[in-house]
């Protein structure tokens, strides 16, 4: 059975109610989240999760079934430089990825990475200089790879044509989960082209001993913590609004949940659900040199 046949064999053509622009954005997100870099900085499909491949085939099938087909979407909604970084990276980005791989003496397992300007990555490596960001600030970022409402997660269920006919005037259902503000420090546990391109990375700090880093961070963040707000850590869970609409997400889960479009970032977070506001000066801390548990890679 071909891709379109497989898609139509589902219980319903579940993407039929999705507007063209959102369907095109869905394609871009899937392309970014379906591939990763291997040890020689080549883009390869992820082997551990077949769902993105199936979901991408559903989008392509839906595009083919609509008037104008896939060519219409490619012409009206062309990929921009940011979204094509994974599939068509610049020579500079490829060079930086290869340089990182050469500095890794073993695989990427059980390591954390932080990309950024050389100035701040050098400060992190030498002095343990860290800034805890208020989650509410990300909403105002100029970087589209960062810009997100971290305090809300919206679920959207687009109705199929049949469902729209049954529910007059409704094209989709939406509901939102909200959270109070919190402090966060973000790393990633993977390397890919977009992490380098999105942050225009001049350097990366590789944490080789995440548990020891956490222990030092916990000691130095006591001023933020109370009996009810301890330092927490963990991988971010990415919520796909097309598949996870029935997933129960509580407010307390939100600091470790993000929209599926960011899944390529494979974020690992340190979070403090603060009960009071702290100034920017208070949120900048120094945990001491990390040279014994981390490596600084200059990408300039």
Q: What is the pLDDT along the chain (300 residues), one digit of tens a residue?
A: 455 665 666 556 778 888 888 888 888 888 778 777 665 555 565 655 556 677 888 888 888 888 877 777 777 777 665 566 676 788 898 899 889 988 886 667 789 999 999 999 999 999 999 999 999 888 877 777 778 889 988 877 777 777 777 777 777 777 788 999 999 999 998 888 888 988 889 999 999 999 999 999 999 887 776 656 688 999 999 888 777 655 677 888 899 999 888 888 899 999 988 766 777 778 899 999 999 999 999 999
Q: What are phi and psi of 234, to 5 degrees?
A: 160, 170
Cα–Cα distances in angstroms (integers) from residue 169 to residues 146, 175, 245, in the given order = 35, 17, 21
Straight-line distance from the first to the last Cα atom of the chain, in angstroms, rounded to the nearest whole number = 49
Residue 278: Cβ within 10 Å count: 15
CA separation for the pair 151, 136 (Å, rounded): 7
Query: Which pLDDT score is estimated for 45?
Result: 59
């Amino acid at each position: 059975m071909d891709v379109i046949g497989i898609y139509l064999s589902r219980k319903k053509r579940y993407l039929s109610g999705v507007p063209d622009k959102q369907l095109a954005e869905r394609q871009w997100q899937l392309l970014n989240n379906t591939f990763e870099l291997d040890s020689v900085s080549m883009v390869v499909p992820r082997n551990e999760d077949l769902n993105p491949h199936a979901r991408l085939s559903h989008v392509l099938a839906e595009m083919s079934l609509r008037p104008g087909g896939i060519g219409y979407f490619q012409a009206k909604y062309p990929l921009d430089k940011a979204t094509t970084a994974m599939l068509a990276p610049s020579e500079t980005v490829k060079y930086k990825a290869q340089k990182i791989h050469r500095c890794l003496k073993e695989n990427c397992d059980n390591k954390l990475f932080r990309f950024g300007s050389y100035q701040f990555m050098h400060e992190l490596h030498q002095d343990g200089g860290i800034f805890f960001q208020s989650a509410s600030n990300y909403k105002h970022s100029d970087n589209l790879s960062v810009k997100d409402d971290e305090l809300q997660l919206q679920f959207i269920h687009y109705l199929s044509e049949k469902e729209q006919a049954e529910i007059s005037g409704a094209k989709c259902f939406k509901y939102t989960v909200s959270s109070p503000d919190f402090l966060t420090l973000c790393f990633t546990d993977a390397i890919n082209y977009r992490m380098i391109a999105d942050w225009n990375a001049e350097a990366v700090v590789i944490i080789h001993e995440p548990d020891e880093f956490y222990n030092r961070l916990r000691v130095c963040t006591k001023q933020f913590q109370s009996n009810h707000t301890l330092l927490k850590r963990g991988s971010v869970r990415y919520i796909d609004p097309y598949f996870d609409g029935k997933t129960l997400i509580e407010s307390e889960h939100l600091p470790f949940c993000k929209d599926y479009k960011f899944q390529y970032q494979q974020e690992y977070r340190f979070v403090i659900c603060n009960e009071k506001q702290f100034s920017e000066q208070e949120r900048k801390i120094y945990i001491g040199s990390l040279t014994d548990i981390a490596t600084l890679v200059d990408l300039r």
